[in-house]
């Protein structure tokens, strides 16, 4: 039986009809939401717009290692402090989680039964307990450390107390910029040497001691320069004055709790990814490289890991994205990140909910997209190159 709606069974017409319908409904919904929202805002006397960003914040931020923050600074500055704090804990967390995760993933495959079981127990526990709970738990452990007066002393220069970790603050004197320039130049030149050596090895088979020459360039050359200039670096040690330390570099317990919880939690996931990656490399590869007489460490470094990376990198990217998004949980322990500082306190003080949330969401979106972008480039560089 044919439908009497002849034109409706035309695929082209149907497709246009449905899409127009969806767009129309969406526009209608949007119109409705905007209308009610502007009505609601008017009724609550909330002015829209971005001018609030220039108003003084009126609150203090306890942890702002990169920017000096006073309570008279603007909400815009709260935002920048928040972004920097989010990036700080995300980047340090990603690095620590990757290192720990790779070690644990390799140890998990160790032939030692006891050791691999131990890692398995760790992985299961830290994967299956909510991250927020872990953050709060680490924080509650850290604030139960001894008070400032009885703080634990490590190596005579570090002090650990319930107010955080106090360490000497490096003070860079006038000549130090030459040393930093030397370090940057050394990094660039060792990168170039690496490329040149690889090209030469591909062509002629001759090897070049890239690793030791890079170490020499990056560490020894700037160090010599450092002493020639006359050690333009001194340390400001924290001193106990009254109830608190004065001077020095302080790492707050909120940051330490966030850092520990994020890296330990994510490392458990990364270790599973690494394990799966290594196991995906077929046994024949290992046997073949052993047969041509490669050392155990070389088999891992030259044969297994490069092949495993192809499997590891895509899920690793999503772990980095997760870690960055999870850093927003800092609000539970009062870590002044983007969500706590700008999306929390600023929002509550100004009442500009829509603007604040839009900025916070847009920032997270751009951080996520940036990470995806760079990881995709890296991923493409390690994939099989078919010749």
Contact positions toward another protein, by CB under 8 A? 15, 18-19, 22-23, 26, 33, 36-37, 39-41, 43, 111-115, 118, 124-125, 127-133, 136-137, 140, 144, 325-326, 328-329, 331-332, 339, 343, 347, 353-354, 357, 360-361, 364-365, 368-369
Cβ partners under 8 Å of residue 321, min gap 6:
368, 371, 372
- Catalogue the E-assigned strands of 162-288: 164-167, 169-172, 233-236, 239-241, 244-246, 249-251
Query: Around Cβ 87, how many Cβ atoms within 10 Å?
Result: 16
Q: Are 232 and 179 in contact (CB under 8 A)?
A: yes
Q: How far apart are CB 367 and another protein at their closest, in Å?
A: 9
SS3 for 252-268 is CHHHHHHHHHHHHHHHH
Q: Are 334 and 340 in contact (CB under 8 A)?
A: yes
Q: How far apart are CB 164 and another protein at their closest, in Å?
A: 19
Q: Of 101 and 343, which has the nearer Cβ to another protein?
A: 343
CA–CA distance, 159 with 20 (Å, rounded to integer): 66
Q: How far apart are CB 260 and another protein at their closest, in Å?
A: 15
Q: How far apart are CB 59 and another protein at their closest, in Å?
A: 18
Q: Of 274 and 329, which has the nearer Cβ to another protein?
A: 329
Q: Of 4 and 144, which has the nearer Cβ to another protein?
A: 144
Q: Of 141 and 171, which has the nearer Cβ to another protein?
A: 141
Q: How far apart are CB 186 and another protein at their closest, in Å?
A: 36
Q: Of 51 and 140, which has the nearer Cβ to another protein?
A: 140
Q: Of 4 and 381, which has the nearer Cβ to another protein?
A: 4
Closest CA to 165 of 89, 239, 251: 251
CA–CA distance, 101 with 147 (Å, rounded to integer): 33
Q: What are the DSSP calls for 290-309, one per residue? A: HHTT--HHHIIIIIIHHHHH
Cα end-to-end distance, the chain, whole Å: 57
Q: Of 73 and 337, which has the nearer Cβ to another protein?
A: 337
How many whole angstroms from its chain centre is CA 147? 31
Q: How far apart are CB 344 and another protein at their closest, in Å?
A: 8
Name the one residue in this structure whose structure tokens are 């099989």: 384
DSSP secondary structure letter of residue 208 = -
Q: How far apart are CB 40 and another protein at their closest, in Å?
A: 5
DSSP secondary structure letter of residue 74 = B
């Amino acid at each position: 039986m044919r439908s009497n709606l002849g034109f409706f069974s035309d695929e082209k017409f149907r497709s246009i009809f449905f899409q127009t319908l969806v767009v129309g409904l969406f526009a209608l919904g949007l119109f409705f939401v905007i209308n009610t929202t502007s009505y609601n805002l008017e009724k609550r006397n909330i002015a829209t717009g971005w001018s609030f960003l220039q108003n003084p914040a009126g609150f203090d931020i306890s942890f702002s290692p990169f920017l000096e923050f006073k309570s008279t600074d603007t909400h815009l500055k709260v935002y920048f402090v928040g972004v920097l704090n989010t990036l700080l804990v995300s980047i340090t967390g990603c690095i620590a989680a990757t290192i720990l995760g790779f070690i644990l993933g390799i140890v998990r495959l160790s032939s030692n039964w006891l050791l691999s079981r131990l890692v398995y127990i760790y992985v299961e526990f830290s994967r299956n307990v909510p991250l927020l709970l872990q953050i709060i738990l680490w924080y509650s452990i850290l604030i139960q450390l001894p008070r400032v007066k009885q703080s634990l002393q490590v190596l005579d220069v570090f002090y650990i107390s319930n107010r955080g970790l106090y360490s000497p603050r490096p003070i860079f004197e006038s000549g130090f910029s030459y040393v930093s320039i030397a370090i940057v130049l050394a990094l660039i030149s060792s990168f170039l040497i690496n490329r040149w050596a690889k090209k030469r090895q591909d062509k002629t088979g001759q090897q070049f001691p890239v690793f030791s020459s890079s170490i020499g360039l990056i560490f020894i050359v700037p160090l010599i320069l450092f002493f020639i200039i006359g050690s333009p670096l001194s340390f400001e040690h924290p001193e106990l004055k009254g109830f608190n330390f004065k001077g020095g570099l302080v790492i707050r317990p909120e940051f330490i709790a966030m850092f520990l919880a994020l890296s330990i939690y994510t490392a458990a996931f990364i270790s599973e990814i690494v394990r799966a990656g290594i196991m995906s490399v077929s046994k024949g590869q290992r046997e073949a490289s052993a047969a041509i007489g490669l050392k155990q460490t070389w088999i891992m470094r030259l044969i297994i890991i490069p092949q495993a990376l192809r499997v590891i990198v895509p899920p690793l990217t999503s772990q980095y994205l997760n870690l960055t998004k999870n850093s927003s949980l800092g609000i539970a322990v009062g870590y002044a990140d983007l969500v706590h500082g700008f999306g929390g306190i600023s929002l509550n003080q100004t009442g500009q909910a829509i603007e604040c949330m839009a900025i916070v969401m847009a920032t997270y979106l751009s951080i996520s997209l940036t990470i995806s972008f760079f990881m995709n480039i890296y991923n493409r560089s390690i994939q099989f190159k078919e010749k």
